[in-house]
Structure 1
Amino acid sequence: MSSESRFLRHSRQRSSFRLGTALLAGRTAALASRLTGRGSGASIGGRVTTTLDPKAFAELIASRRIAAVTGTNGKTTTTHLLTAAIRNGLGDDGSQVITNADGANLHHGIVSTLGRSLHAPVAILETDERVVADTVRLGHPEILVLLNFSREQSDHNHEMAFLGRDWRAALAAAGPDGPMVIASSADPLIVWVCQRARAVVWVDTNPRWTADSTLCPNCGGVLIRETARWHCPDCPLSQPEADWWVDGDEAVSRKGDRHRLGLQLPGHFNLTNATCALAAAVEIGISPDAALAGMRTVISPAGRYATATVSGTTVQLLLANNPASWTECLPLAVSDPLVLAIDAAAGDGRDLSWLWDVDFGELTGRTVICSGPRALDLAVRLDYSGIDHVVIEDLAEALDSPLLDGHWDADHPIDVLSSSTPFQQLRQLGGLA
């Protein structure tokens, strides 16, 4: 054996030993986090692993078939739907497909997920917008699902255009080895990003919220929207013809195929999430029937739309963090009274000015309980909209309020729409975490 061959072999052995040691330390940290009730341990476990082995993300994400799902809204649910579709299509017994089902979607969370199963050949990864470029560059995903861009907390993802620029550059650098992209044709920034992609399957997601896409990302012109389609009058950028779209409860392909979705999840936006997942599964090689059979088993991805009993009250949990997601979720909150919970911790975003972009008009005539540490901010916003409301900051107390007595039963729970931090608290109070 040449000296060069011996050096490479020893280098690989050292790398494998370092990664194994780092993963063991990370798993120990994650276990300690769970035992002390501090959380799932996904983040701290990945943090410890990558501190000990800075190359862990690159090593763990390589040499797998990867489908990555990203977007401001819907990525957790779409990841669950796609995972269910692929597992059912492959007849997976749990050893072939790994996913970050808990939503830990930054570098550390993905390292924790992949480190749990070193030999699973397929990874379905929910990917934070800030991790997409690294995922494309280091993981060479087979499929990349791009759902949407929406204005998120100013202290979270900053300007959407910067993220779009990074995604576009990553897809351009990937060239002919880049992923097959499943993308929303209704989002101008997504369309601009995908101009550099190797290949794109377009899904018309027909969102209710379009206020984040008024300017052309290509030239800065004011976009024109006509009959639910958009185009730029100042440059060639326009909405592409869709390969998939939703018609009623059916996903329809340009080829003329129609597939009943039959989901257990509410909302039109989840029909479009499922259509994106179906398009991705088909590109991977899963039959539509097998993919849909899997997706129909998804009930409450990471607690979304779950029912639970908190303080003796049966509630349905809804999650929303920005004007786009609140616009989509408010129509699902049909109970009277209902509870809206707001915080401004790191996971929610510390700037709550986005509340003023949400149209709360459809709550007129109903009683709203404002809860969470920033309930007063929400109360001021509702006051300006003329919505009847009371403030009970403590969530457990809010759900034990006499205002709820006689207004719910097992079949008709009280709807609780909340931002991330109260949502996680509700999961814990309801025994779902």
Structure 2
Amino acid sequence: MAGNSDPLTPRAKIAVTAGKAVAAASRAAGRGSGSVIGGRVALKLDPDLLARLAQNLDVVLVSATNGKTTTTRLIAEALRAAGPVVSNALGANMPAGITSALAGSSEARYGVIEVDEKYLAGVARDTDPKCIALLNLSRDQLDRAAETRMLAENWREGLAGSKAVIIANADDPLVVWAASSSPNVIWVAAGQMWKDDAWSCPSCGGVMQRPGDDWFCGECGFRRPTPSWALSGDHVLDPHGSAWPIHLQLPGRANKANAASSAAVAAVFGVPPQVALERMYQVQAVAGRYDVVQFQERDLRLLLAKNPAGWLETFSLIDPPPTPVILSVNARGADGTDTSWLWDVDYTRLTGHPICVVGDRKLDLAVRLEVANQHFQVCENLDQAVQMCPPGRIEVIANYTAFQDLRRRVGN
């Protein structure tokens, strides 16, 4: 719990100092923020450092396949109404990056931490969180991530008996199954646009029935729990039935869902929905996502989409045709090297948009678009693609490392 006693041993202090020095050297050498390498060095020197740093904080963990960076930002913004917050806002979400983030602040009362799905159970063990938000699970990075039900099982076992309040999406059967091992769950009806990873029951393997927004297993009776919070259009419904308006600068239904879950988390810490939702309006962009930048006399909106569920959500928020769309896909280590997921994305949703294709795997994407009967041009790079588009707005959708390449090129 929050307090002022110094939890750091001499060894931990040396580890923090060494980690910061290595991070600073990495930044000076132009190798990025240095948070990951700094955290690795610090954890080598003191393997218990993450637990020590979290000791004096009220911790919130946020995990999901999609939306965790944005939701982490929204929750951090909401909790600042109650006190100082430390957060891994730039998305370094494995133990080394989390350790670095927490080492950067000795004054904070709350720690709002995004956690990679595979590391959730371990980080929860180390940080003794007061609250854990579970948003969704879907296929991602097929060459290195576990199959979704295995991830859900990992969560279920890791969170069994957890003292944390679990804020969980009632509309995602995998999340519900994972959270159901915990004694204290608050269910949020946040919606689920992508359903292709949830047609078989995670509990028994039977076929899921999905009438309307409901779902249940016809074989074992596993079913959607009754939510106490819900997203309803442009409002969040709280457990008392009051409707609170959502005003976000971030686009799309997915971000309203993130705001609903964030309001439920904030309430656990005593921040009322009205205050929490008003504070969320401050968030304009998240690590470059949703930013509109001027480049070659055009307005480029930068959108990140890393997996089929993310692409589906992104297609739902782009401007209507004939707004040009530039698509960029890489398959480097951080993206996952297997691009077979492109075949799970419904690219017919881009019909009517002029499309330009760039990135390391532009030819993989070109084949996929050809099969989807889309009109597109393959371009050498972003500059050439932008030149192909008329002046005005361009939607640019990219996966992880392609997104970082874009940001560097446009100076964002």
Residue 173 to residue 182, structure 1, CA distance change in 2 (3 Å): closer
Q: 2:371 aligns to what?
A: 384
Alignment equivalent of 1:415, drawn from 391, 395, 405: 395
Alignment equivalent of 1:370, drawn from 347, 357, 363: 357
Partner amino acid, structure 2, of 1:198: P
Q: Does 1:404 align with 2:389?
A: yes
Separation in 1, partners of 2:13, 2:123: 21
Partner amino acid, structure 2, of 1:365: G
Conserved? CA contact 1:205–1:245, under 8 Å: yes
Separation in 2, partners of 1:393, 1:239: 47
Residue 254 to residue 286, structure 1, CA distance change in 2 (3 Å): closer
Q: Does 1:217 align with 2:202?
A: yes
Q: 1:424 aligns to what?
A: 404
Conserved? CA contact 1:333–1:417, under 8 Å: no
| Superposition deviation, residue 82 in structure 1 | 0.5
Partner amino acid, structure 2, of 1:344: A
Alignment equivalent of 1:277, drawn from 259, 262, 268: 262
Conserved? CA contact 1:62–1:138, under 8 Å: no
Q: 2:3 aligns to what?
A: none
Residue 379 to residue 265, structure 1, CA distance change in 2 (3 Å): same
Alignment equivalent of 1:120, drawn from 81, 86, 108: 108
Separation in 2, partners of 1:166, 1:208: 24
Task: Give the SS at the match of 2:160.
Answer: helix
| Superposition deviation, residue 292 in structure 1 | 1.3
Separation in 1, partners of 2:96, 2:377: 40
Task: Give the SS at the match of 1:332.
Answer: coil
| Superposition deviation, residue 55 in structure 1 | 2.1
Partner amino acid, structure 2, of 1:386: N
Q: 1:262 aligns to what?
A: 247
| Superposition deviation, residue 173 in structure 1 | 4.3
Partner amino acid, structure 2, of 1:163: L
Alignment equivalent of 2:121, drawn from 124, 129, 133: 133
| Superposition deviation, residue 119 in structure 1 | 4.1
Q: Does 1:52 align with 2:39?
A: no
5+ residue gaps, structure 1, are: 1-11
After TM superposition, the structure 1 = structure 2 runs for residues 20-419 of structure 1, keeping only pairs within 5 Å, are: 20-87=13-80, 89-90=81-82, 92=83, 96-174=84-162, 178-334=163-319, 336-399=323-386, 401=387, 403-406=388-391, 408=392, 413-419=393-399
Separation in 2, partners of 1:393, 1:70: 36
| Superposition deviation, residue 311 in structure 1 | 4.3
Separation in 2, partners of 1:36, 1:51: 22
Conserved? CA contact 1:343–1:372, under 8 Å: yes
Residue 321 to residue 224, structure 1, CA distance change in 2 (3 Å): same
Partner amino acid, structure 1, of 2:30: G
| Superposition deviation, residue 123 in structure 1 | 0.3
Partner amino acid, structure 2, of 1:416: V
Conserved? CA contact 2:36–2:96, under 8 Å: yes
| Superposition deviation, residue 27 in structure 1 | 1.1
Q: Give the percent of matched residue pairs that are identical in Structure 1 and Structure 2.
A: 40
The one-character-per-residue Cα deviations of 1:52-71 (angstroms, maximum 9, x if unpaired) are 22222222223320011110
Residue 159 to residue 22, structure 1, CA distance change in 2 (3 Å): same
Which one has a bigger Cα radius of gyration?
1
Q: Under a length normalisation based on structure 2, what TM-score does the superposition of the two structures give? A: 0.95
Separation in 2, partners of 1:170, 1:25: 31
| Superposition deviation, residue 25 in structure 1 | 1.7
5+ residue gaps, structure 2, are: 1-5
Conserved? CA contact 1:311–1:397, under 8 Å: no
Conserved? CA contact 1:171–1:198, under 8 Å: no
Q: Under a length normalisation based on structure 1, what TM-score does the superposition of the two structures give? A: 0.90
Q: How many residues align?
A: 405
| Superposition deviation, residue 31 in structure 1 | 1.4
Separation in 1, partners of 2:49, 2:91: 19
Conserved? CA contact 2:23–2:38, under 8 Å: yes
| Superposition deviation, residue 164 in structure 1 | 1.5
